[in-house]
Structure 1
Amino acid sequence: MKLHLQRPGDQNQITSYAPGELRINDNVYQRSLIVAPRWMQADWAPQTFEELQSDSFAEIIQHRPEIVLLGTGRRLRFPAPAVLGQLRATGSGIEVMDTTSACRTYNILMGEDRDIVAALLMIELA
């Protein structure tokens, strides 16, 4: 489990992550989610990598962030180009990484006041 110093304010910060669990501020989540500094979508529809579809990113597309992090679970896996097609068309930068790396990167970029969104598949239980 990773712990991060919590910043004051009303931003959504990932304070810990472990297989089967993400903690954002004081709330624990056990399902995939989308998080941005000032909004989030709990219980994001794809719960596994195999369930990712192009329409999985509709909420993110509406916000048109500068950077989108896709956390693919326990290990790094790249979705088919068609899955990310609509998201790429918005001009957002897209980084695909395992969920642990995506959580760390999200907190760093959020601390730099970047326009960031992280779409995080849950880290699978071993």
Structure 2
Amino acid sequence: MRLTEISYDTARPVEGYGRDFFRIGGQVLHGACLITPWDAGPWGGLEDVLAPLALAGRIDVLFLGMGKEIAHAPAEFRAALEEVGIGVEVMNSPAACRTYNVLLSEGRRIALAVLPVG
């Protein structure tokens, strides 16, 4: 088997997560986070659709990590993003982090809005 090292260029992948934190590019963030290839910071959770809406035109898909278990995204949240051309893929937070990293390494126009697994 041949192993290939993954390169993220200047983008910052999710390096790890725990009960109430995410480690992105060496930085530890607590609570819900909004992560893009160019920035990472706190996010107000499902009640905060404005932060992801600000990414319109810069991303094609938002991966929405719902915590430890998968759950439905609020219909209003999904509709607001889809109205501005951002697709929403909902999964549990561990799967969302892994998927984000894979597509980030491919240079895709993506972002991650993730709730803690705690």
State the TM bucket, normalised to the shorter chain. Answer: 0.7 to 0.9
1:105 aligns with 2:62: no
Question: Could you state the TM-score of these two structures normalised by the residue count of structure 1?
Answer: 0.80
| C-alpha distance in structure 1 between counterparts of 2:6 and 2:115, whole Å | 22
Question: Could you state the TM-score of these two structures normalised by the residue count of structure 2?
Answer: 0.85
> For the aligned residues, what is the CA RMSD?
1.7
1:80 aligns with 2:79: no
The offset of 1:6, in angstroms, is: 7.2
For residues 18-57 of structure 1, the aligned pairs below 5 Å read 18-40=18-40, 42-46=41-45, 52-53=46-47, 56-57=48-49
The offset of 1:61, in angstroms, is: 1.5
Structure 2: tracts of 5 or more residues without a match = none
The offset of 1:43, in angstroms, is: 2.0
Q: In structure 1, the residue corresponding to 2:82 is in which secondary structure?
A: helix
Structure 1: tracts of 5 or more residues without a match = 47-51
Equivalent residue pairs, number: 112
Amino acid of the structure 2 residue aligned with 1:69: F
Q: In structure 2, the residue corresponding to 1:37 is in which secondary structure?
A: coil
For residues 2-13 of structure 1, the aligned pairs below 5 Å read 7=7, 9-13=9-13
The offset of 1:26, in angstroms, is: 0.8
